[in-house]
Amino acid sequence: METSFEDVAEDAGGSAPSAATVADDAEAAPAPAATATAAAPGPGPAAAPVSAAKAPASLSPSRAGDFMQCPLLYRFRVIDRLPEKPSEAATRGTLVHAVLERLFDAPAAERTAPRARSLVPGQWDRLRESRPEVGELFADDPEGERLARWLGEAERLVERWFTLEDPSRLEPAERELFVEAELDSGLRLRGIIDRVDVAPTGEVRIVDYKTGKAPRPQYAEGALFQMKFYALVVWRLKKVVPRRLQLVYLGSGDVLTYDPVLADLERVERKLLALWEAIRLATETGDWQPRPTKLCGWCNHQAHCPEFGGTPPPYPLPVRVADTGGVEQGRMAAD
Ligand code: SF4
């Protein structure tokens, strides 16, 4: 029988984002370009680091995806914490997520498309206050034309959501939920789930919004990896296998769903353990290989990447001497 997640108990309530939400990426996310100066390349005196480099201690879906895409990219983001410039697409995604989340503050009957659109300017103001570096995106747009177009695109994405889901019939159990669980091996998994719905029967649906387009069917498995990661964390925390994983693609107007079984979560756990072992080995040896793909076009770090004639910054962690297995308390000059 199909589970209904719509019209769930009105008193289920939603949760405001917690301070922990911010902490999810605080440990292992690239620093904003406007504020971070760690490991800056080029001549002149070395800039003061934002914080001392640390070996990775946990894994999120984004960073796991980074390592699978390119180990060197993972290193730049997690260990070197090289600054990254905000992009229009990623910032629009953050803005749209904020609008969808805040819309659930309104009573169910008022969760309309015009109301959601009206939230866009205010949420943009809030985003600029909390992350001043995003204001740079439109620093060369004195007339505000590009900004107006960009905000219009955000409004269209928000509007499209109403063709895919009806928020007046939803009462999320959680929004922007920070989750963290430790596996038996000691590996800590963490992440932020956009929305958790709980049906009156107790069945759980995990929902993630994407502002891009749905992947072609042959790439759907990659897209579901993040959702299975979250499902594994929920299973470890609550001993409940989520009934449904749902990706809502606002860019193309598609919804991708998957109903996981326990074997899926066990499989993703094995995959994450193997991934973590590879990360641990690279951390100890300092051997982070670049893996060039067409995604390099979106990489912020070509100037540091040997594949593009660049040189990585000095490796900031102790490295293991390969032939003895010991750990040398020195620093590698470069990869
Ligand atoms: S440019 Fe490509 S190969 Fe180099 S670090 Fe970035 S993603 Fe990896």
Give residue-wise pLDDT tens across range 94-104: 999 999 999 99
Would 41 be classed as within a structural domain? no
Question: Is 335 close to ligand 1, i.e. is its CB under 6 Å away?
Answer: no
Would 66 be classed as within a structural domain? no
Would 93 be classed as within a structural domain? no
Ligand 1 atom nearest residue 293's Cα? 2
Ligand 1 atom nearest residue 296's Cα? 2
Q: What is the pLDDT of residue 225?
A: 96
Grade residue 111 by pLDDT with cuts at 50, 70 and 90.
very high
Give residue-wise pLDDT tens across range 257-296: 999 999 999 999 999 999 999 999 999 999 999 999 999 9
CA distances from 237 to 60, 179, 203, 233 (A): 15, 9, 15, 6
CA of 70 to the centre of ligand 1 (A): 6
Give residue-wise pLDDT tens across range 167-214: 999 999 999 999 999 998 999 999 999 999 999 999 999 999 999 999
Ligand 1 atom nearest residue 76's Cα? 5
Q: State the CB neighbour count (10 A cutoff) for residue 170.
A: 20
Mean pLDDT for the chain?
85
- Quick one: 218 exposed, middle or buried, by C-beta within 10 A (0-12, 13-18, 19+)? exposed
Terminal Cα-to-Cα distance of the chain (whole angstroms): 55
Report how far residue 317's alpha carbon sits from residue 159's, in angstroms, rounded to the nearest whole number. Answer: 47
Would 179 be classed as within a structural domain? yes
Question: Which among 69, 70, 82, 304 is the best mutation to test ligand 1's pocket, defined by most ligand atoms within 8 Å of the CB?
Answer: 70
Please tell me the total count of domains within the chain.
1
Q: Which amino acid is at 185?
A: S
Share of the chain above pLDDT 90, in %: 76
Would 281 be classed as within a structural domain? no
CA of 291 to the centre of ligand 1 (A): 6
CA of 330 to the centre of ligand 1 (A): 26
Four-point Cα dihedral 231, 233, 237, 238, nearest 10: 0
Question: Is 68 close to ligand 1, i.e. is its CB under 6 Å away?
Answer: no
Give nearest CA residue, ligand 1 atom 3: 292
Q: Which residue from 6, 8, 7, 51 is spatially nearest to 28, judged by alpha carbons?
A: 51
Would 57 be classed as within a structural domain? no
User: What region, left, alpha or beta, does residue 239 occupy, with left being phi > 0 and alpha being psi -120 to 50 degrees?
Assistant: left
Would 168 be classed as within a structural domain? no
Per the listing, tokens 């770090």 go with 301
Segments forming the whole domain that contains residue 247? 174-274
Q: What is the pLDDT of residue 122?
A: 98
- Residue 263 maps to which CATH number? 3.90.320.10
pTM of the predicted structure, to 2 decimals:
0.82
Would 92 be classed as within a structural domain? no
